[in-house]
Amino acid sequence: NQQHNPHELLCQLKHRVNLTTLKSSDLPDSARFWSQYLPNKDIHEVVGKLRQCAVVSSAGSLKGSRLGQEIDSHDAVLRFNAAPTKEFEIDVGSKTTFRLINSQVVTRVDHHFLENRIYKDMILIMWDPAPYDADIYQIMNRSLSLCSFYHKSQLPLPSNISLSLTRTRWYKKPEFKFFEPYRKYRIANPKQPFYILKPQTLWQLWNIIQENSPELIQPNPPSSGSIGILLMMNICDEVNVYEFLPSLRRTDRCYYFKPYFDSACTFGAYHPLIYEKNVFKKLNLGTKEDVYKKGKVTLSGLRQCLP
Ligand code: NCC
Protein backbone atom coordinates (compact mmCIF):
# COMPACT_ATOMS: atom_id res chain seq x y z
CA ASN A 1 0.00 0.00 0.00
CA GLN A 2 1.02 3.58 -0.66
CA GLN A 3 0.24 5.11 2.75
CA HIS A 4 0.25 8.70 1.51
CA ASN A 5 0.92 11.41 4.09
CA PRO A 6 -2.14 13.60 4.84
CA HIS A 7 -1.32 16.38 2.40
CA GLU A 8 -0.41 13.92 -0.36
CA LEU A 9 -3.63 12.07 0.31
CA LEU A 10 -5.65 15.28 0.03
CA CYS A 11 -3.96 16.01 -3.31
CA GLN A 12 -4.53 12.44 -4.53
CA LEU A 13 -8.23 12.87 -3.80
CA LYS A 14 -8.24 16.20 -5.58
CA HIS A 15 -6.36 15.12 -8.69
CA ARG A 16 -7.45 11.52 -9.16
CA VAL A 17 -11.14 11.54 -8.27
CA ASN A 18 -13.07 13.49 -10.83
CA LEU A 19 -16.24 14.02 -8.87
CA THR A 20 -18.49 15.37 -11.59
CA THR A 21 -22.14 14.85 -12.47
CA LEU A 22 -23.65 13.35 -15.60
CA LYS A 23 -24.90 15.49 -18.44
CA SER A 24 -27.03 14.34 -21.32
CA SER A 25 -24.09 14.85 -23.68
CA ASP A 26 -22.09 12.19 -21.75
CA LEU A 27 -24.59 9.52 -22.79
CA PRO A 28 -25.59 8.01 -26.11
CA ASP A 29 -28.72 9.14 -27.95
CA SER A 30 -30.48 5.91 -26.96
CA ALA A 31 -30.48 7.17 -23.35
CA ARG A 32 -32.15 10.45 -24.26
CA PHE A 33 -35.61 9.40 -23.05
CA TRP A 34 -34.30 9.91 -19.50
CA SER A 35 -30.94 11.68 -19.94
CA GLN A 36 -32.66 14.76 -21.41
CA TYR A 37 -33.87 15.44 -17.84
CA LEU A 38 -30.33 15.65 -16.44
CA PRO A 39 -29.24 19.17 -15.42
CA ASN A 40 -27.24 20.86 -18.16
CA LYS A 41 -24.57 22.10 -15.80
CA ASP A 42 -22.26 20.21 -13.46
CA ILE A 43 -23.12 20.53 -9.74
CA HIS A 44 -19.96 22.56 -9.08
CA GLU A 45 -20.92 25.22 -11.61
CA VAL A 46 -24.28 25.69 -9.91
CA VAL A 47 -23.40 25.40 -6.22
CA GLY A 48 -20.14 27.37 -6.35
CA LYS A 49 -17.91 27.54 -3.29
CA LEU A 50 -19.12 27.17 0.28
CA ARG A 51 -17.21 27.90 3.47
CA GLN A 52 -18.02 25.46 6.25
CA CYS A 53 -20.13 22.35 5.66
CA ALA A 54 -21.39 19.44 7.73
CA VAL A 55 -21.83 15.82 6.69
CA VAL A 56 -24.16 13.84 8.96
CA SER A 57 -23.86 10.06 8.87
CA SER A 58 -26.94 8.03 9.68
CA ALA A 59 -25.25 6.15 12.54
CA GLY A 60 -27.08 5.01 15.67
CA SER A 61 -24.44 6.75 17.78
CA LEU A 62 -25.97 10.13 16.86
CA LYS A 63 -28.88 9.25 19.11
CA GLY A 64 -28.57 11.27 22.30
CA SER A 65 -25.67 13.34 20.88
CA ARG A 66 -27.42 16.74 21.11
CA LEU A 67 -25.33 17.89 18.14
CA GLY A 68 -28.28 19.42 16.28
CA GLN A 69 -27.49 23.08 16.96
CA GLU A 70 -23.83 22.65 16.03
CA ILE A 71 -24.75 20.84 12.81
CA ASP A 72 -27.26 23.52 11.81
CA SER A 73 -24.67 26.28 12.32
CA HIS A 74 -22.86 25.17 9.15
CA ASP A 75 -23.36 26.95 5.82
CA ALA A 76 -24.58 23.71 4.24
CA VAL A 77 -25.49 20.26 5.53
CA LEU A 78 -25.39 16.97 3.64
CA ARG A 79 -27.44 13.94 4.73
CA PHE A 80 -27.87 10.45 3.32
CA ASN A 81 -30.65 8.41 1.80
CA ALA A 82 -33.84 8.37 3.86
CA ALA A 83 -32.29 9.73 7.10
CA PRO A 84 -34.94 12.03 8.64
CA THR A 85 -34.55 15.23 10.68
CA LYS A 86 -38.15 15.60 11.89
CA GLU A 87 -38.40 14.49 15.52
CA PHE A 88 -34.59 14.12 15.70
CA GLU A 89 -33.67 17.83 15.52
CA ILE A 90 -31.95 17.96 18.92
CA ASP A 91 -29.45 15.29 17.87
CA VAL A 92 -29.03 15.86 14.12
CA GLY A 93 -30.37 19.37 13.38
CA SER A 94 -32.96 20.35 10.82
CA LYS A 95 -31.04 21.96 7.95
CA THR A 96 -30.60 19.84 4.82
CA THR A 97 -28.90 21.45 1.84
CA PHE A 98 -27.85 18.28 0.04
CA ARG A 99 -29.13 14.72 0.19
CA LEU A 100 -26.97 12.01 -1.34
CA ILE A 101 -29.04 8.96 -2.22
CA ASN A 102 -28.19 5.61 -3.74
CA SER A 103 -30.26 4.26 -6.60
CA GLN A 104 -32.10 1.81 -4.30
CA VAL A 105 -33.83 4.79 -2.72
CA VAL A 106 -35.10 5.96 -6.09
CA THR A 107 -36.29 2.55 -7.22
CA ARG A 108 -37.52 0.60 -4.19
CA VAL A 109 -41.26 1.02 -3.72
CA ASP A 110 -41.04 1.13 0.08
CA HIS A 111 -39.11 4.41 -0.14
CA HIS A 112 -42.04 6.17 -1.90
CA PHE A 113 -39.46 8.35 -3.60
CA LEU A 114 -41.86 10.25 -5.80
CA GLU A 115 -44.22 11.25 -2.98
CA ASN A 116 -42.06 11.41 0.17
CA ARG A 117 -41.54 15.04 1.38
CA ILE A 118 -38.16 14.08 2.80
CA TYR A 119 -36.57 14.40 -0.64
CA LYS A 120 -38.02 17.84 -1.46
CA ASP A 121 -36.55 21.36 -1.00
CA MET A 122 -32.88 20.43 -1.27
CA ILE A 123 -30.27 19.46 -3.81
CA LEU A 124 -30.48 15.75 -4.61
CA ILE A 125 -27.50 13.75 -5.83
CA MET A 126 -27.85 10.07 -6.76
CA TRP A 127 -25.25 7.38 -7.43
CA ASP A 128 -25.59 3.91 -8.87
CA PRO A 129 -22.81 1.32 -8.95
CA ALA A 130 -21.78 -0.26 -12.24
CA PRO A 131 -23.65 -3.53 -12.86
CA TYR A 132 -22.31 -6.76 -11.49
CA ASP A 133 -22.90 -8.92 -14.54
CA ALA A 134 -20.53 -11.55 -15.90
CA ASP A 135 -18.44 -9.02 -17.82
CA ILE A 136 -18.09 -6.90 -14.78
CA TYR A 137 -16.99 -9.81 -12.66
CA GLN A 138 -14.27 -10.53 -15.18
CA ILE A 139 -13.14 -6.95 -15.13
CA MET A 140 -13.30 -6.86 -11.36
CA ASN A 141 -11.35 -10.06 -10.97
CA ARG A 142 -8.76 -8.69 -13.34
CA SER A 143 -8.79 -5.50 -11.34
CA LEU A 144 -8.27 -7.41 -8.14
CA SER A 145 -5.30 -9.37 -9.47
CA LEU A 146 -3.81 -6.21 -10.93
CA CYS A 147 -4.41 -4.49 -7.62
CA SER A 148 -2.60 -7.32 -5.93
CA PHE A 149 0.37 -6.73 -8.24
CA TYR A 150 0.44 -3.01 -7.52
CA HIS A 151 -0.13 -3.69 -3.85
CA LYS A 152 2.93 -5.92 -3.66
CA SER A 153 5.09 -3.66 -5.78
CA GLN A 154 4.04 -0.57 -3.76
CA LEU A 155 3.31 1.33 -6.97
CA PRO A 156 0.21 3.54 -7.19
CA LEU A 157 -2.71 2.01 -9.06
CA PRO A 158 -2.92 3.41 -12.58
CA SER A 159 -6.16 5.30 -12.87
CA ASN A 160 -7.36 3.25 -15.85
CA ILE A 161 -7.52 -0.08 -13.97
CA SER A 162 -11.03 -0.17 -12.67
CA LEU A 163 -12.08 2.61 -14.97
CA SER A 164 -12.52 0.08 -17.74
CA LEU A 165 -15.79 -0.45 -15.88
CA THR A 166 -17.09 2.80 -17.24
CA ARG A 167 -16.78 1.57 -20.78
CA THR A 168 -19.34 -1.10 -19.93
CA ARG A 169 -22.96 -0.52 -20.71
CA TRP A 170 -23.78 0.94 -17.31
CA TYR A 171 -26.19 3.41 -18.85
CA LYS A 172 -28.17 0.50 -20.30
CA LYS A 173 -27.99 -1.75 -17.28
CA PRO A 174 -27.51 0.05 -13.98
CA GLU A 175 -27.59 -1.85 -10.68
CA PHE A 176 -31.07 -0.45 -10.01
CA LYS A 177 -33.29 0.70 -12.86
CA PHE A 178 -33.57 4.32 -11.89
CA PHE A 179 -34.34 5.76 -15.35
CA GLU A 180 -38.12 5.85 -15.13
CA PRO A 181 -38.45 7.09 -11.52
CA TYR A 182 -35.75 9.68 -12.25
CA ARG A 183 -37.64 10.89 -15.32
CA LYS A 184 -40.94 11.02 -13.41
CA TYR A 185 -39.37 12.87 -10.48
CA ARG A 186 -37.82 15.48 -12.79
CA ILE A 187 -41.12 16.06 -14.57
CA ALA A 188 -42.94 16.46 -11.25
CA ASN A 189 -40.20 18.65 -9.67
CA PRO A 190 -38.51 20.44 -12.58
CA LYS A 191 -37.07 23.23 -10.43
CA GLN A 192 -35.37 20.97 -7.89
CA PRO A 193 -31.70 20.31 -8.72
CA PHE A 194 -31.22 16.55 -9.05
CA TYR A 195 -27.82 15.28 -10.17
CA ILE A 196 -26.42 11.85 -10.93
CA LEU A 197 -22.76 11.16 -10.21
CA LYS A 198 -20.62 9.69 -12.97
CA PRO A 199 -20.12 6.04 -12.00
CA GLN A 200 -16.37 6.09 -12.65
CA THR A 201 -16.01 8.45 -9.67
CA LEU A 202 -16.71 5.54 -7.33
CA TRP A 203 -13.89 3.44 -8.71
CA GLN A 204 -11.45 6.35 -8.73
CA LEU A 205 -12.17 6.76 -5.02
CA TRP A 206 -11.99 3.01 -4.46
CA ASN A 207 -8.44 2.98 -5.93
CA ILE A 208 -7.28 5.49 -3.35
CA ILE A 209 -8.97 3.61 -0.50
CA GLN A 210 -7.22 0.42 -1.66
CA GLU A 211 -3.83 2.11 -1.86
CA ASN A 212 -4.19 3.39 1.67
CA SER A 213 -5.31 0.08 3.16
CA PRO A 214 -3.00 -2.50 4.70
CA GLU A 215 -4.70 -5.41 2.91
CA LEU A 216 -6.58 -6.19 -0.28
CA ILE A 217 -10.18 -5.10 -0.23
CA GLN A 218 -13.13 -6.36 -2.26
CA PRO A 219 -13.85 -4.22 -5.31
CA ASN A 220 -17.25 -3.08 -4.03
CA PRO A 221 -18.10 0.59 -4.29
CA PRO A 222 -17.44 2.90 -1.34
CA SER A 223 -20.46 3.76 0.81
CA SER A 224 -22.52 6.90 0.38
CA GLY A 225 -20.62 8.18 3.43
CA SER A 226 -17.27 8.53 1.64
CA ILE A 227 -18.82 9.74 -1.58
CA GLY A 228 -20.72 12.47 0.29
CA ILE A 229 -17.67 13.55 2.29
CA LEU A 230 -15.63 13.85 -0.88
CA LEU A 231 -18.40 15.78 -2.61
CA MET A 232 -18.41 18.32 0.23
CA MET A 233 -14.60 18.47 0.23
CA ASN A 234 -14.88 19.52 -3.42
CA ILE A 235 -17.40 22.24 -2.65
CA CYS A 236 -16.47 23.57 0.80
CA ASP A 237 -13.39 25.12 2.44
CA GLU A 238 -13.88 22.99 5.53
CA VAL A 239 -15.99 19.92 6.22
CA ASN A 240 -17.07 18.64 9.65
CA VAL A 241 -18.23 15.04 9.51
CA TYR A 242 -20.40 13.66 12.32
CA GLU A 243 -20.36 10.03 13.50
CA PHE A 244 -18.64 8.58 10.46
CA LEU A 245 -15.72 7.87 12.78
CA PRO A 246 -17.68 6.64 15.79
CA SER A 247 -17.57 8.52 19.11
CA LEU A 248 -17.62 6.87 22.53
CA ARG A 249 -21.39 6.54 21.94
CA ARG A 250 -20.52 3.79 19.43
CA THR A 251 -23.27 1.21 19.33
CA ASP A 252 -24.46 -1.76 17.28
CA ARG A 253 -27.61 0.21 16.63
CA CYS A 254 -27.49 0.89 12.90
CA TYR A 255 -29.43 4.17 12.63
CA TYR A 256 -30.33 7.04 14.98
CA PHE A 257 -33.87 6.93 13.64
CA LYS A 258 -34.82 3.26 14.01
CA PRO A 259 -34.12 0.40 16.39
CA TYR A 260 -32.29 -1.95 14.07
CA PHE A 261 -29.06 -3.53 15.29
CA ASP A 262 -26.16 -4.66 13.10
CA SER A 263 -22.50 -3.73 13.61
CA ALA A 264 -21.93 -4.14 9.84
CA CYS A 265 -23.66 -0.75 9.41
CA THR A 266 -20.71 0.89 11.17
CA PHE A 267 -17.84 -1.32 10.04
CA GLY A 268 -19.05 -2.56 6.67
CA ALA A 269 -19.89 -5.84 4.97
CA TYR A 270 -20.56 -5.02 1.33
CA HIS A 271 -18.96 -1.55 1.37
CA PRO A 272 -15.30 -1.25 2.45
CA LEU A 273 -16.46 0.99 5.32
CA ILE A 274 -13.69 0.37 7.82
CA TYR A 275 -11.07 1.18 5.18
CA GLU A 276 -13.01 4.25 4.07
CA LYS A 277 -13.10 5.48 7.67
CA ASN A 278 -9.36 5.00 8.06
CA VAL A 279 -8.68 7.12 4.98
CA PHE A 280 -10.67 10.05 6.36
CA LYS A 281 -9.19 9.54 9.83
CA LYS A 282 -5.78 10.27 8.32
CA LEU A 283 -7.07 13.62 7.08
CA ASN A 284 -8.56 14.73 10.40
CA LEU A 285 -7.42 18.22 11.44
CA GLY A 286 -9.53 18.17 14.59
CA THR A 287 -8.75 16.83 18.04
CA LYS A 288 -9.06 13.28 19.38
CA GLU A 289 -11.43 14.69 21.96
CA ASP A 290 -13.80 15.81 19.17
CA VAL A 291 -13.75 12.27 17.80
CA TYR A 292 -14.42 10.68 21.20
CA LYS A 293 -17.10 13.14 22.30
CA LYS A 294 -18.83 14.08 19.06
CA GLY A 295 -17.70 11.54 16.47
CA LYS A 296 -16.49 14.65 14.67
CA VAL A 297 -13.66 14.86 12.15
CA THR A 298 -12.64 18.15 10.56
CA LEU A 299 -11.35 17.97 7.00
CA SER A 300 -10.00 20.71 4.82
CA GLY A 301 -11.53 21.22 1.43
CA LEU A 302 -9.64 19.96 -1.62
CA ARG A 303 -8.85 23.58 -2.55
CA GLN A 304 -6.25 23.44 0.24
CA CYS A 305 -4.16 21.19 -2.00
CA LEU A 306 -2.00 23.64 -3.93
CA PRO A 307 -1.46 23.90 -6.83
O1 NCC B 1 -27.18 2.82 5.69
P2 NCC B 1 -26.97 4.01 4.85
O3 NCC B 1 -25.94 3.63 3.69
O4 NCC B 1 -28.16 4.74 4.32
O5 NCC B 1 -26.12 5.07 5.71
C6 NCC B 1 -25.61 6.28 5.16
C7 NCC B 1 -24.13 6.40 5.46
O8 NCC B 1 -23.93 6.61 6.85
C9 NCC B 1 -22.75 5.91 7.29
N10 NCC B 1 -23.12 5.04 8.43
C11 NCC B 1 -24.39 4.56 8.56
C12 NCC B 1 -24.70 3.78 9.66
C13 NCC B 1 -23.73 3.51 10.61
N14 NCC B 1 -24.00 2.81 11.72
N15 NCC B 1 -22.47 3.99 10.45
C16 NCC B 1 -22.17 4.76 9.38
O17 NCC B 1 -21.01 5.19 9.26
C18 NCC B 1 -22.21 5.16 6.08
O19 NCC B 1 -21.13 5.85 5.53
C20 NCC B 1 -23.35 5.16 5.10
O21 NCC B 1 -22.92 5.20 3.77
C22 NCC B 1 -25.28 3.65 1.48
O23 NCC B 1 -24.06 3.77 1.66
O24 NCC B 1 -25.92 4.21 0.58
C25 NCC B 1 -26.05 2.81 2.52
O26 NCC B 1 -27.41 2.65 2.08
C27 NCC B 1 -28.19 1.62 2.70
C28 NCC B 1 -29.59 1.61 2.05
O29 NCC B 1 -29.49 1.30 0.68
C30 NCC B 1 -30.21 3.01 2.20
O31 NCC B 1 -30.26 3.38 3.56
C32 NCC B 1 -31.59 3.05 1.61
O33 NCC B 1 -32.45 2.18 2.26
C34 NCC B 1 -27.50 0.26 2.59
N35 NCC B 1 -28.31 -0.76 3.27
C36 NCC B 1 -28.87 -1.77 2.61
O37 NCC B 1 -28.78 -1.90 1.41
C38 NCC B 1 -29.63 -2.76 3.46
C39 NCC B 1 -26.15 0.38 3.32
O40 NCC B 1 -25.45 -0.86 3.21
C41 NCC B 1 -25.31 1.50 2.70
Q: Is 126 in the pocket of ligand 1 (CB under 6 A)?
A: no
Q: Is 55 in the pocket of ligand 1 (CB under 6 A)?
A: no
**What is the structure's pLDDT at 248?**
97
Please tell me the residue having the least CA distance from ligand 1 atom 12: 59
The ligand 1 atom at the shortest distance from the C-alpha of residue 254 is 14
The ligand 1 atom at the shortest distance from the C-alpha of residue 223 is 23
**What is the structure's pLDDT at 46?**
92
Q: Are strands 258-261 and 253-255 parallel, antiparallel or unpaired?
A: antiparallel
Q: Is 244 in the pocket of ligand 1 (CB under 6 A)?
A: yes
Q: Is 242 in the pocket of ligand 1 (CB under 6 A)?
A: no
Q: Give, for ligand 1, the residue of 55, 77, 78, 80 to mutate: max count of ligand atoms closer than 8 Å to Cβ.
A: 80
CA dihedral (277, 272, 270, 222) positive or negative: positive
pLDDT per residue as tens digits for the range 159-212: 544 444 444 467 778 888 999 999 999 999 999 999 999 988 888 899 899 899
How many angstroms separate the alpha carbon of residue 224 from the centre of ligand 1? 7
**What is the structure's pLDDT at 148?**
58
How many angstroms separate the alpha carbon of residue 307 from the centre of ligand 1? 34
10-residue block means of pLDDT along the chain (307 residues)?
82 94 89 94 94 98 98 98 98 98 96 97 93 40 54 57 50 87 98 94 90 90 97 98 97 97 94 96 97 98 92
**What is the structure's pLDDT at 3?**
67
The three-state (H, E, C) secondary structure of the chain, written as one string: CCCCCHHHHHHHHHHHCCCCECCHHHCCHHHHHHHCCCCCCCHHHHHCCEEEEEEECCEHHHCCCCCHHHHHCCCEEEEECCCCCCCCHHHHCCCCCEEEEEHHHHHCHHHCCCCCHHHCCCEEEEECCCCCCHHHHHHHHHHHHHHHHHHHHCCCCCCCCHHHHHHCCCCCCCCCCCHHHHHHHHHHCCCCCEEEECCHHHHHHHHHHHHCCCCCCCCCCCCHHHHHHHHHHHHEEEEEEECCCCCCCCCCEEECCEEEECCHHHHCCCCCHHHHHHHHHHCCCCCHHHHHHHCEEEEECHHHCCC
**What is the structure's pLDDT at 199?**
86
Q: Is 201 in the pocket of ligand 1 (CB under 6 A)?
A: no
**What is the structure's pLDDT at 132?**
35
Please tell me the residue having the least CA distance from ligand 1 atom 33: 105
CA dihedral (81, 82, 86, 88) positive or negative: negative
**What is the structure's pLDDT at 50?**
98
The ligand 1 atom at the shortest distance from the C-alpha of residue 57 is 8
Q: Is 37 in the pocket of ligand 1 (CB under 6 A)?
A: no
**What is the structure's pLDDT at 243?**
98
**What is the structure's pLDDT at 139?**
44
Q: What is the pTM of this model?
A: 0.91
Please tell me the residue having the least CA distance from ligand 1 atom 24: 224
Q: Give, for ligand 1, the residue of 102, 218, 253 to mutate: max count of ligand atoms closer than 8 Å to Cβ.
A: 102
**What is the structure's pLDDT at 136?**
39
